[in-house]
Amino acid sequence: MPNRKFVAGNWKMHGSAASIAEIVRIAAAVPSGVDVALCLPSTLIERAARAVPGFAIGGQDVHAEAKGAFTGDLAAHMLHDAGASLVIVGHSERRDGHAEADATVRAKAMAAMAAGLDVILCVGESLAVREAGAAVATVSAQLDASLPPVPVRAVAYEPIWAIGTGLIPSLADIADMHAALRARLVAAYGEAGHGVRLLYGGSVKPTNAAEIFAVADVDGALVGGASLTAADFLPIVEAAQGA
């Protein structure tokens, strides 16, 4: 049986108090057949969680340690305490912009799950790797080295060159990658690997969501720019509901 679709928004460094109304609009319109979450800047997590009780609010990164002298960082239990129920780890903007290695991503995922947070673990290749024909091998190895021992809630395949660019891989390339990642998940977790939601991320829009959701082993999406407004995000959620 196919997994229930899961659509998560990644607000990145966008949003302020005035955005709570938009979050309320999104949460109020979510259909019953899809899991939906918004991963917000840390400054908005508690306010949003209070504004939309029962709706999944997440963070975008977490420290691997539970406490200590880590200026500017947040521990998993702090996110949980603020009302988050999930967190993204290993986004390419963290891997590249903050030099996070696979082992760090794995440690973050373990810390998040130990604190009761669901994890969306991101992997993805650069354009150079894709053009060299090494995308599937590279991303598979990245996943193997990043996965914690206990199954994560979701893995997001996000080709770096597709993020924020309006470009997406061909549907056949998405299918090939998701099949390979599913095989890695089953190798790591056995039967439970089938239940890990495999999300596609990178320039998902209302105009391309339905065709992406129809690809085998695409269990949803991680959506950046198009998750910032109800007008863009809700049609993507509706496409998941219909898929």
The yes or no reply on residue 201 touching ligand PGA (CB under 6 A) is yes
The yes or no reply on residue 163 touching ligand PGA (CB under 6 A) is yes
The yes or no reply on residue 37 touching ligand PGA (CB under 6 A) is no
Minimum CB distance to ligand PGA, residue 10 (Å): 4
120: β partners: 88, 154
CA–CA gap between residue 66 and residue 144 (Å, rounded): 24
The yes or no reply on residue 164 touching ligand PGA (CB under 6 A) is yes
Specify the residue for token string 């809630």: 153
Q: Applying CB under 6 A, which part among 26-34, 78-86, 106-114, 157-165 lies near ligand PGA? A: 157-165
What is the enclosing helix (H) or strand (E) of 140? Answer: helix 135-146
The yes or no reply on residue 222 touching ligand PGA (CB under 6 A) is yes
How would you label 148-168 residue by residue, b for 16+ Cβ within 10 Å and e otherwise? beebbbbbbbbbbbbbeeeeb
CA–CA gap between residue 215 and residue 203 (Å, rounded): 16
* Residue 168 exposure: Cα atoms within 13 Å on the Cβ side: 20
Active-site residue, 100 included = no
CA–CA gap between residue 233 and residue 205 (Å, rounded): 8
The yes or no reply on residue 76 touching ligand PGA (CB under 6 A) is no
Q: Which of 19, 60, 203, 208 binds ligand PGA (CB under 6 A)?
A: 203
Q: Applying CB under 6 A, which part among 13-21, 72-80, 175-183, 196-204 lies near ligand PGA? A: 196-204
The yes or no reply on residue 169 touching ligand PGA (CB under 6 A) is no
What six digits make up the tokens of 218? 């695409």
Active-site residue, 80 included = no
Chain contacts with ligand PGA (rule: CB under 6 A): 10, 158, 163-164, 201-204, 222-226
The residues that are catalytic are: 91, 158
